[in-house]
Structure 1
Amino acid sequence: MEMTKRKAVAALAAMTLAARAQTEPAARDAGSHPLPAAAPGATGLGRFFKSQTYHFQTLRALSDVPFGGADTGEVLETIKTIKDGDAQGWYAAWTKTGDRVLALAQETQDPLSKGGAYMRAHNYFRTAEFLLPPDDAKRPASWERNIGCFYKALDTLGVAHERFRAPYPGGGLQAIYYPGPAGAASKPLIMFVGGYDSTLEELYLVLVKAAHDRGYSVLTYEGPGQGEALRKQGLHFLPEWEKPNGAVLDAFLHTHAKPVKTILVGMSMGGYLAPRAAAFDDRIDGVVAFDTFFDIGEIADGIVKMAANPQARSSPDFIWAMDNARWTMGTADLESTRQAFQAYKLAPVAARIRQPVLILAGAEDHFVPYHQTADFEKSLVNAKSVTTRIFDRASGGAEHCQLGAATLWHAAFFDWLRKTFA
C-alpha cells in the first residue's frame, strides 16, 4: 500500500514537472528578462542585468534589505518581468510592487510590520521613478508617493526626527535631524549628504538606521541638484558645496547645541561634495568620501569619449547618465555638460583639508577610475590622518559605494569613527 502511494506521488510529481517544462519557456519568452539556459554543472550568475545601470540599481534596492527598505523576494519578483534597458517597463514593474506593498501597509495592524511595509513601498516607488526621463509626466506623482510613504513609515515605526528648512538663495534646503538614543550627545554628530542622483529620504536606509542602532545622531540634507531642491525649486549642482553645506549647518546650530564633533559623510558624488565643504569649514571635524570622487571632470571626459561610439551612445548606461547630468547640472548638451563638470575637482582645494579623512572605494567602480583613490590620498598633504579602504570583488563590495554589501562599508566607517574620535 505504501509503495503504491509513493508511485502515485512520483507520477504526480513527474506530470507537474513536465507541465512546468512546457509552460516555463513560454513564460520566460513572454517575460522580459530571460536568463541563459544553464549547462550541467554551471555556476551561478553574478548579475541581474547585462547593462550596468539596471544591474546597479537592482543592487541599490537590495542594499536596503538589512535596514528594512526592501525584501529580497519582492525585488526578485519585480525584476524578472523587466527588459534590460526598458525604462518604462522598469517603472511599471516597480510601481506594481510598490502598489502591492503599500496596500499591505494599509491593511496591516502590527505597527512594526505596517511601518516596514510603508518603508519598502517608499523605496520601490523611488526606484520606479529613477530611470524615467527627467521630463516624464509620471515622475511628479511617483515622487509624491515615494515621499508620502517614507514619512508614514517613520511615524508608524516611531522614528524620532525633526524636519527643517535651511535658508538658501532660490528657496530653501530640506534637512532631517534624527536624534540618537540616550547618550548620543557624547558622540560625534554624523552629517550625511547624497550625490548625483540622491534624495533626502533614501539616506535613512543608507546610513541613518545603522548609525542610530549604534547610538549616533544623524543630520541629513539635500542640496542643489538633489531631491526637492531640483524638482520643485530648479536648483542645480554647484561646485562650491561649502555654500549649501554651511547653510544647513548654520540652520541646525541656530536651534541645537554644538555637537562634540561633526563628521561629514558624502555618498557617491558626495565623495567630492563633502571633502570640498570640509576644505572651507573648520566646524567639520572629520570627513568621509563614500566613495572616491576626486576628479569629476575626468569622468565627464570619459563619457564624452563613449559618445563617439554609436553603440555605446545608445546604451542604457549612457542614456541615463546624460539625461541625469543635463537635468541636475542645468546644461543643454554633451559638450556644455562636460565643460560644467570641469569645475568639480578636489586637487585645487585638497591641501586645505586638515581634518581626519576616510576614503572608501570599490575596486571595480564603474563610475570612478581606480587611480583617483591614490590621487586623492596624495593630495591630502595637510590632513590630520588619511585612512583608505578599498573593497575587492571577493569581499562583495567592489561596486561603486559598495552597493549590495552595505554592511562592509558600515563596519569600516564605524570602526574608523570609534578609533579616530574615541
Structure 2
Amino acid sequence: MSARDLAAELAAEFVAALWTRATGTGVDPHEYRRVTDGLGSVADCGPAFARTGHGYLQRARDAGSSRSAGECLLMAARWFHLATLAPYPEANRAATEADHALGGALALLEPGARRVSGEGFTGWLRGPGDARGTVVVVPGLDSAKEEFLDLASALLARGLAVFAMDGPGQGVLAATTTLRPEYEQVVGRVVDALGVDRIGLVGLSLGGYFAARTAALEPRVVAAATVSGPFRLDWDELPAPVREIMATRAGGPDAAREFAGQVDLAALAPRIAAPLLVVDGERDVIPGVTNGEPLARLAPHGSYLSVPHGDHLLGNARPDWLPRVADRMAQALTGAGG
C-alpha cells in the first residue's frame, strides 16, 4: 500500500470512529458524509470541519437577524467544535469560534440567555428565570459546552434552567487553563455565581468522573447523572491517542499521568448522598478505562443503565438514555415527571 493510500485509509477510519459522536452532537449525517468523503489524511479533517463551520457563518450573515441566522450559528458552533476533536493545529482558534457562534446563536434565539464566567469556568445559563431547578452540564476530556446541545434542549423542554459550561482545560478555556481533578471546587463557584441553593449535575465522558466526584463532595448537588464516565483510569493501559489528548489538556505527559492516577471513585462513591443515574454503552470499551458499573453499585442511591448497542457518549443510542436522564433531573429537582 502506498503512503497516500495508507493516509486515506487512516482518514477513513478516523471519520468512521467520529461518526456517532458527530451525529450525536447534532450535525446532519448526510452533510457529515459529504464533508468527510474522500479526505486524504487525518490532518485534513480539522480544516474540513472548520470550513464547514465558516460556511454556516456565511449563511447566518446572509440570513440577517432572524431565527434562521440563529440556527445557522448553532450549526456553525457544532462544526467548529468537531474541528477541535481532530489533530488540528488551529484547535484553540476553532474552540473560540465555536464559543462565539454559540453566543451569537443564543443572542438571536434566546435573548434571555446569560453568559456566566468565573475562576476556572465559563458558560451559558439558559431557561426561564423562575425555573424550579437548575442543571449544570459538565463536559469531558475533549468535549465542550457546544457538544451537548440536544441534552440541554431536553432539559429545557422539561422547564429546567441549564448551565452548560467549560471548565479548566475544556472548550474555550483549553488555551489558557489545564485539567484539574478538584472539579468540585469549580462547580462550587458555579453554584455561587448562579445564585441557586441546589443543582442537578450531568457529566459526560470524563465529565462523568467530575460529576460523581462533585456529587460526593458538594452538598448542593441533589441529583446527578453520568454518561460514559470512567470509574477508574489506568495510564499505562490507555490508548496512545487518549494519552496524547490528556497530555495536551493537562499540561504535559507527567501532569497527565498524575491526573489519570487520581481518577478513581472507589473511595468517593459511597459518599454520594444524591440519587445517581449511571449510563454506559456496552460497546464503549477503551483499554485502561473502567466503566461506571462499580460507581452505580457503590453509590448509596445509584442506579445503572447499560445500553447494549451504545458506544462512547451513546451518540448512536440517544433515545435509550437521553429522555431518562432528563426525566430523572426533572423529577429530582421539581418533583414532576418528564
Shorter-chain TM range is 0.7 to 0.9
Partner of residue 124 from structure 1, selected from 79, 82, 88: 79
Q: TM-score, normalised by structure 1?
A: 0.71
**370-379 or 210-219, which deviates more:** 370-379
Per the alignment, residue 38 of structure 1 pairs with none
1:224 aligned onto 2:163: no
State whether residues 225 and 329 of structure 1, in contact with CA within 8 Å, keep that contact through their aligned partners in structure 2: yes
Hey, what's the Cα distance between the residues in 2 that align with 1:94 and 1:157? Answer: 24
State the shift of 1:370 in Å.
Answer: 8.4
Partner of residue 407 from structure 1, selected from 311, 319, 322: 319
Per the alignment, residue 191 of structure 1 pairs with 136
Hey, what's the Cα distance between the residues in 2 that align with 1:356 and 1:192? Answer: 16
Partner of residue 325 from structure 1, selected from 246, 251, 255: 246
1:60 aligned onto 2:52: no
1:389 aligned onto 2:305: yes
Per the alignment, residue 104 of structure 2 pairs with 152
State whether residues 197 and 226 of structure 1, in contact with CA within 8 Å, keep that contact through their aligned partners in structure 2: yes
Per the alignment, residue 124 of structure 2 pairs with 176
- Across the aligned residues of Structure 1 and Structure 2, the Cα RMSD in angstroms comes to 2.7
SS in 1 for 2:218: coil
Per the alignment, residue 361 of structure 1 pairs with 280
- What code does the residue aligned with 2:24 have? S
Consecutive unaligned residues in structure 1, runs of 5 or more = 1-28, 35-47, 307-317
Hey, what's the Cα distance between the residues in 1 that align with 2:170 and 2:283? Answer: 26
Hey, what's the Cα distance between the residues in 2 that align with 1:148 and 1:354? Answer: 37
Per the alignment, residue 73 of structure 1 pairs with 30
State the shift of 1:265 in Å.
Answer: 0.9
Hey, what's the Cα distance between the residues in 1 that align with 2:162 and 2:64? Answer: 29
Per the alignment, residue 205 of structure 2 pairs with 268
State the shift of 1:361 in Å.
Answer: 0.4
Q: Deviations over 1:365-396 (max 9, x none)?
A: 1337786333223322xx2x222111112xxx
State whether residues 197 and 324 of structure 1, in contact with CA within 8 Å, keep that contact through their aligned partners in structure 2: yes
State whether residues 33 and 80 of structure 1, in contact with CA within 8 Å, keep that contact through their aligned partners in structure 2: no
Hey, what's the Cα distance between the residues in 2 that align with 1:344 and 1:55? Answer: 29
State the shift of 1:207 in Å.
Answer: 1.7
Per the alignment, residue 95 of structure 2 pairs with 143
SS in 2 for 1:327: helix
Indicate the structure whose relative CO is greater, using CA pairs within 8 Å and at least 6 residues apart: 2
Q: TM-score, normalised by structure 2?
A: 0.87
State whether residues 237 and 287 of structure 2, in contact with CA within 8 Å, keep that contact through their aligned partners in structure 1: no
SS in 1 for 2:155: helix
Hey, what's the Cα distance between the residues in 2 that align with 1:93 and 1:228? Answer: 20
The aligned length equals: 329
Consecutive unaligned residues in structure 2, runs of 5 or more = none
- What code does the residue aligned with 1:377 have? A
- What code does the residue aligned with 1:55 have? A
Hey, what's the Cα distance between the residues in 2 that align with 1:101 and 1:323? Answer: 30
State whether residues 33 and 82 of structure 1, in contact with CA within 8 Å, keep that contact through their aligned partners in structure 2: no
State the shift of 1:206 in Å.
Answer: 4.1
Hey, what's the Cα distance between the residues in 2 that align with 1:409 and 1:159? Answer: 30
Hey, what's the Cα distance between the residues in 1 that align with 2:211 and 2:218? Answer: 10
Q: Deviations over 1:143-178 (max 9, x none)?
A: 332222222211222353111222x3xxx4213211
Per the alignment, residue 39 of structure 1 pairs with none
Hey, what's the Cα distance between the residues in 2 that align with 1:271 and 1:281? Answer: 15
1:286 aligned onto 2:286: no
Hey, what's the Cα distance between the residues in 2 that align with 1:121 and 1:411? Answer: 25
Hey, what's the Cα distance between the residues in 1 that align with 2:222 and 2:281? Answer: 25
Hey, what's the Cα distance between the residues in 2 that align with 1:122 and 1:414? Answer: 23
- What code does the residue aligned with 1:107 have? D
SS in 2 for 1:238: coil
State the shift of 1:360 in Å.
Answer: 0.4
Hey, what's the Cα distance between the residues in 1 that align with 2:92 and 2:261? Answer: 31
- What code does the residue aligned with 1:111 have? S
State whether residues 74 and 97 of structure 1, in contact with CA within 8 Å, keep that contact through their aligned partners in structure 2: no
Hey, what's the Cα distance between the residues in 1 that align with 2:272 and 2:303? Answer: 14
SS in 2 for 1:270: helix
Hey, what's the Cα distance between the residues in 2 that align with 1:95 and 1:175? Answer: 22
State whether residues 178 and 218 of structure 1, in contact with CA within 8 Å, keep that contact through their aligned partners in structure 2: yes
State the shift of 1:419 in Å.
Answer: 4.9
Partner of residue 240 from structure 1, selected from 182, 195, 206: 182
| Residues 240/120 of structure 1: CA separation in 2 closer, same or farther (3 Å cut) | same
**321-330 or 269-278, which deviates more:** 321-330
State whether residues 291 and 400 of structure 1, in contact with CA within 8 Å, keep that contact through their aligned partners in structure 2: yes
| Residues 387/98 of structure 1: CA separation in 2 closer, same or farther (3 Å cut) | same
1:50 aligned onto 2:13: yes
Residue identity over aligned pairs, in percent, reads 23
Matches within 5 A, 1:97-112: 97-109=52-64, 111-112=66-67
State the shift of 1:330 in Å.
Answer: 1.4
Hey, what's the Cα distance between the residues in 2 that align with 1:247 and 1:192? Answer: 14
